[in-house]
């Protein structure tokens, strides 16, 4: 079973290698009384005929807090600056906070031989614009799993179900394969996609490196490409964690 899962997920990750920000939700949770901040800044460039849309995160922030050994609380605040170009001329520019995400992660199973570490995530995706009512809130459910394939390889993967504000639904998948070059440097490839009404509406492949700067300070840089549209992305994530008690 372990071998079959590895072959299937490796095929998906490598055969569809595309780009988007690293999106996998890891199965592990931060420890009790630990506060973790992940600042992600990346640029997305999407081309459509003569038009080009450039989006910067400035950055987006993920806040994680370990409530106890089984439960983690999360808050995501996405700050974005979006610019539209036509024939290389700036048409419009807009800075905004799209939607805030409030979430909780619950650890279900510890890793044990062939049994993957398993957790469950729920996030409410709430419109930040005051003119939008709370009934436009979307919901994300994610089953997060992790298999340690060897001392060097680790496979993280998610199966997600999203309910949009208009009550339409989508199924999402993410697979992330990491390889430890040494105790400070890791290489990873990630594939993520969304299926809506039986159609693959988005598909991104990401490749990148993670580096341990200090015991509680980490840096991640990544690059990728969308397989469905002419879109590329490049960026990085700075992670810092500390004790609160």
Confirm if 99 and 77 have CB atoms less than 8 A apart.
no
pLDDT at site 227: 80
- The conformation of residue 187, written as its DSSP 8-state character, comes to E
Q: Which CATH entry fits the domain spanning 2-243: 3.40.50.170, 2.40.128.130, 3.40.50.300, 2.40.160.10?
A: 2.40.128.130
Helix (H, G, I), strand (E, B) or coil at 168: coil
Identify whether the C-beta of residue 204 lies closer than 8 Å to the C-beta of residue 19.
yes
Q: What is the pLDDT of residue 133?
A: 57
The pLDDT > 90 percentage for the chain reads 46
- Mean pLDDT lowest among 17-21, 125-129, 196-200, 224-228: 17-21
Please report the pLDDT score of residue 91 as a whole number.
Answer: 67
User: In the chain, what are the domain boundaries?
Assistant: 2-243
- Determine the straight-line distance between the first and last CA of the chain, rounded to whole angstroms: 42
Predicted pLDDT of residue 2: 39
Would you tell me how many other CB atoms lie within 10 Å of the CB of residue 244?
9
CB 79 within 8 Å of CB 97? yes
> For the chain, what is the mean pLDDT?
82
Name the residue with higher pLDDT: 131 or 121.
Answer: 121
């Amino acid at each position: 079973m372990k071998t079959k899962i590895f072959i299937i997920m490796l095929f998906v990750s490598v055969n569809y290698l595309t780009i988007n920000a690293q999106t996998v939700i890891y199965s592990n949770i931060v420890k009790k009384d630990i506060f973790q901040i992940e600042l992600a800044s990346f640029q997305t460039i999407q081309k459509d005929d003569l038009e080009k849309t450039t989006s910067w995160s400035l950055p987006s922030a993920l806040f994680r807090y370990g409530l106890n050994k089984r439960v983690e609380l999360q808050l995501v605040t996405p700050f974005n600056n979006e610019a539209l170009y036509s024939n290389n001329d700036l048409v419009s520019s807009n800075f905004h906070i799209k939607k805030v995400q409030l979430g909780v992660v619950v650890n279900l199973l510890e890793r044990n031989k062939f049994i993957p570490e398993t957790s469950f995530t729920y996030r409410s995706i709430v419109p930040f614009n005051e003119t939008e009512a709370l009934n436009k809130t979307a919901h994300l459910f994610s089953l997060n799993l992790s298999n340690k394939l060897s001392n060097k390889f680790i496979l993280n993967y998610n199966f997600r179900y999203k309910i949009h504000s208009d009550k339409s639904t989508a199924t999402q998948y993410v697979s992330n394969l990491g390889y430890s070059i040494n105790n400070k440097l890791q290489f990873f490839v990630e594939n993520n996609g969304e299926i809506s009404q039986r159609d693959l509406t988005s598909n991104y492949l990401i490749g990148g490196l993670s580096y341990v700067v200090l015991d509680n300070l980490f840096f991640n840089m990544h690059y990728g490409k969308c397989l469905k549209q002419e879109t590329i992305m490049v960026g990085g994530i700075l992670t810092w964690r500390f004790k609160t008690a």
